[in-house]
Chains A and B, each alone.
Chain A
Amino acid sequence: MPGLIDQQHDTFLRLFAEHEPAVRTFVRSLLPSRSDASEVMQEVAVVLWQKFAEFDASRDFRKWAFGVAHYEVLTYLRDQARDRHVFDDALVNRLADAAAAAEPRHDAQRDALEACLEKLPPAQRELVLCAYAKGTRIDGLAVQRGQTPMSLYKVLHRIRQALLECVQRQLAVEGPQ
């Protein structure tokens, strides 16, 4: 049945491309570090493809993908249980429920962020984007700027808090999501 398989393959590509950013954000929400999230996301992509034949096309792909991602996060965290400062199962479950419910708000926040970034003073905008650029090390960036890493973190915290408050204000003006 090569035709059916090709159709399944193409359907998966379309659905995964559409929902990958939301699934990635969901995974990131449940894990304390970006590198953990990246590692789990690779696993999630593989499992989604492996299980796609079992997916009921009448269901919501994103919800299904969130369920798979939730399970993969729990498995990953159990493997990391030697670190007592990671989330336990109960907290992951609470965060997963909250993250799924917050998805429309988070979509709107991501849309609003671009305008809020433009409102930042140029030096702050450059700094935060530079800090988030792949390969940037905060300690190296601090040395370049003649700061201690601790003082640079504090600057970044103030910028992020300002950005978050900006997007929250903007959404409050636009109305409930």
Chain B
Amino acid sequence: MKSHWHETIQRYVDGQSSAEEAAALLKGLNEDAELRALYLDYMNLDMALGAMADEAAVGENGSNRVTSLHEARVGSPPHYGRWTAAAAAALAVLVVFAMLPRGPKPLRTGHDVAAAITSAQVAIARLAFDTTSALPAWMSPTASLLEPPRVPE
């Protein structure tokens, strides 16, 4: 495995690739199983770091975020954060789907689902401001305000 792929993959993940770099990476991913495995490991790392940052940052304001992040990591016993995040994620999922309509045809339209998810996001956002629970990105306060769910036609 050539070491330059580490940098190439990360530039692509960060949206920093030139056209030539992106084309070379896509070609390599198509042809090289080992490169695909490395790429997937970086994507997994990217997801995991995002989840850890979310759980560390929820409830903090921007001005003391870095200090708070450090305190959140150092002050937490091992695995505490992950279990908190998992519990919060499960709770958020339960809230969303508990709000979906029940009946012989559980969903009449995509609009029902989107509305339920949006409502749940708002409800969860209110909860999130009062707790230190981390939430999945699509249920976060930011998502509820800035990025309404897409509605399937």
Contacts and interface: CB of A to CB of B under 8 A. Distances in A.
Contact of A163 (B45, B54, B102): B45
Contact of B40 (A12, A29, A156): A29
A95 B48 contact: no
A134 B62 CA distance: 11
Interface residues of B, number: 76
B73 A5 contact: no
Interface string B40-67: 1111111111111110110000100110
A129 B142 CA distance: 18
Interface string B92-117: 01101110101110110010011001
A43 B102 contact: no
Contacts of A16: 93, 97
B70 interface: yes
Contact of B37 (A50, A102, A113, A160): A102
A49 interface: yes
Given A28-B47, A130-B53, A157-B6, A106 B29 contact: no
Interface of A: 1-2, 5-6, 8-9, 12-13, 16-17, 20-21, 24-25, 28-29, 32-34, 38-39, 41-43, 45-47, 49-50, 52-53, 85, 87-88, 90-91, 94-95, 98-99, 102, 105-106, 109-110, 113-115, 117-118, 122, 125-135, 138, 153, 156-157, 160-161, 163-164, 167-168
23 contacts: A5-B102, A20-B93, A21-B51, A21-B89, A32-B13, A34-B137, A38-B137, A45-B117, A53-B106, A87-B29, A95-B39, A95-B40, A98-B33, A113-B48, A113-B49, A126-B70, A130-B66, A130-B69, A133-B69, A134-B53, A138-B14, A153-B10, A160-B46
Interface of B: 6-7, 10-17, 19, 22-23, 26, 29-30, 33, 36-37, 39-54, 56-57, 62, 65-66, 69-70, 73-74, 78-79, 81-82, 86, 89-90, 93-94, 96-98, 100, 102-104, 106-107, 110, 113-114, 117, 136-138, 140, 142-143, 147, 149-150, 152
